Amino acid sequence: MEARLRRYFAAAVTVAAVGLLVQSQGPSAESQQERRQSPEPGAESQQQRPERPVPSAQSQQAAAQQQAPPMDHSMHKMGSVDPMAWRMPPMGDMPMMPGLDDEVPPVDPWLPGAGMDPSMFPEARPNGIIDAEDGERIELAASLVRRTLDGRTYVMYGYNGQYPGPMIRAPRGSTVIVDFANRIDLPTTVHWHGLRLDNRFDGVPGLTQAPVAPGESFRYELHFRDSGVYWYHPHMREDIQQDLGLYGNLMVSPPEPDYYSPVNREEVLILDDVLIDDAGLMPYGADSPTHTLMGRFGNVMLVNGTTDYRLTVRRGEVVRFYLTNVANTRTFNVTFGGARVKVVASDVSKFEREQWVDSVVIAPAERYVVEARFDDPGEVPIENTIQAINHFRGEFYPHVDHLGTVVVGDERAAEDHGDAFDTLRTNEDVVTDIDAYRPHFDREPDHRLELVLRTENLPLPIVRSMEFEKGLYVPPMEWNDTMPMMNWLATGKQVSWVLRDPETGLENMDIHWQFRLGDVVKIRIFNDPTTIHPMNHPVHVHGQRYLVVSTDGVPNEHLVWKDTAIVPVASTVDMLVDMSNPGDWMLHCHIAEHLHAGMMMKFSVSER
């Protein structure tokens, strides 16, 4: 890893030296670029992700002073204020690439409720909690709602008229029936992300069920096999439906009273972003996604669907945060000011061993459970803290997005859980569970995948820029969209993200691996850095759980059961999958635009 970072920084110096500028009908089934990057790779679990120092206020101020003033794009011919028309995306301080002045994506623009007065739709309300017991039946409906963000009103989506959707909380081992109704203007399904449930209810159109058309309904049966935090979202045009608010958490309560350490309170943080300009929400592609190179980064940060998250606590309180990343493509690096933080669990289990962290790197669809103690009165910022790279200026600089604030009062906490917080627990139940899989850690992989990109019919300036960039250096992570024009213009009609089986040559949905119940399958995934525009990919496996046992040959010393994990550019990640659930399942990238640009495959697990 250190050698790769040295190569990365050396290449960045080279970059600096050469001066790199571098309808109301629903959808069916940049400038020379400046990719803002962290120089660190970021691997599956927090202990493998290099710690990122929080920039001081002085360093942030100095970095801001170094940045160029906003570019003047008034000369470009895309100044439409029609909210339903294609218009140039927000560019920040990026220059326009010559030759793209009049380019727009080769698909029609689309937004929900186009041409309709937002006041026609009910105002969304903050989400509530549905406490469900074993055998209980609940109702869930997707509908159009009116949302207000920073004083501006938009037509968006919501489950049960709420933002986010209601948290469904149930005990481990229970089964809950969900009667779902589709009241939006697009066909949809609901995927219950991370649950090892009956395959019939996984929510994948064309594989486990037919799409739920507008006005129709579907009954899901959810079995909660594992404790922890999960989430639900559409599995059709996530780039639109999920981005506009269709997401919510599932909380599976453990029966053991000491499953976690004692805390003063628990809080849920659902992290998201949305892309907005002066005319409103940026339109989506009607019959194919836009932003398929990097995914659709938003410029407005949301926590629990709002731009002004605040939490008030007493001095000395320990807070357990359940983090879920529901963004289309953004990987967050979450910091809690100067508070001490430890990570205790992730997607499908607790960690074998808790660990102290300076930040929490969380990719789309991942969940992390962390505990933080707030000892000093005052305001503690919750921030997305990254090291960006400015290709135009050839330099790294700190970048911070404000996510929320914890207000710490003077009054002491009613109960002091400091001793428990100061203890890093070893979770023997997780250690014992994983022990049975350790003999498989070092064996050769059963299957391999390579992650690559193919493009066709992109505007020539984009192709030339990508060819020029290729080979200069390989950033392991994309933290920001610093090629907004190029990214926006690239649609699923021109971009194909590929999962390739090197042994058979098969790609994406032509791949169909066959397993038996109880198989332990080692999959080696290589994210090819020589492809024309490599990017990190959060890989999600439906219906099963897996361990990331090594990255680039380095064993993972802090194991946790996952269903989604980052594969950085130029990295090789070994996953050990517990084939514990029969049925036909998906493996795919969880960047929404990459999924809809083809980056998915299927596998089957049969009964023995």
The answer to whether domain 2-68+266-425 has CATH 2.60.40.420 is: yes
pTM, two decimals, is 0.88
Dihedral Cα 157, 281, 453, 507, nearest 10 deg: 20
CA–CA distance, 376 with 383 (Å, rounded to integer): 18
Element (H, E) at 335: strand 332-336
Closest alpha carbon to 338 in 359, 321, 317: 359
Give how far Cα 344 sits from Cα of 221, 323, 352, 522, Å: 29, 12, 9, 25
pLDDT at residue 392, as a whole number: 57
> Nearest Cα to 142, choosing from 128, 126, 163?
163
pLDDT of residue 391: 59
For residue 149, list its beta bridge partners. 152
Whether the domain at 2-68+266-425 and the domain at 438-606 fall into the same CATH topology: yes
Report the candidate in 399, 539, 533, 536 with the shortest Cα–Cα distance to residue 470: 533
Predicted local confidence at residue 394, as pLDDT: 61
pLDDT at position 99: 85
Q: What is the pLDDT of residue 483?
A: 84
Residues in CB range of 83: below 8 A, 6 or more apart: 111, 279, 280, 281, 283
| Structural domain spans, the chain | 2-68+266-425, 118-258, 438-606
Model pLDDT, residue 9: 32
Q: Can you give 352-417 as a three-state secondary structure string?
A: EEEEEECCEEECCCCEEEEEEEECCCEEEEEEEEEEEEECCCCEEEEEEEEEEEEEEEEEECCCCC
SS3 at position 88: coil
Q: What is the dihedral of CA 61, 63, 64, 67, to 10 degrees?
A: 160
For residue 233, report the phi and psi dihedrals to the nearest 5 degrees.
-165, 165
What pLDDT does 4 receive? Answer: 39
| Residue 91: per-residue pLDDT | 83
Residue of 379, 380, 400, 377 whose CA lies nearest to 388: 400
The superfamily in CATH containing domain 118-258 is Cupredoxins -  blue copper proteins (2.60.40.420)
User: For the domain 438-606, what is the CATH superfamily, name and number?
Assistant: Cupredoxins -  blue copper proteins (2.60.40.420)
pLDDT at 49: 39
Task: Look at residue 66 in the predicted model and tell me its pLDDT.
Answer: 37
Give the pLDDT means over successive 10-residue stretches in the chain (608 positions). 36 28 35 33 37 37 38 45 88 78 94 91 97 98 97 96 98 98 98 98 98 98 98 98 98 96 98 96 97 97 97 98 98 97 98 98 98 98 88 73 98 97 98 98 98 95 83 80 90 97 98 98 97 94 98 97 97 98 98 98 95
pLDDT the model gives residue 101: 83
Preceding peptide of 164 cis, ω within 30°? yes
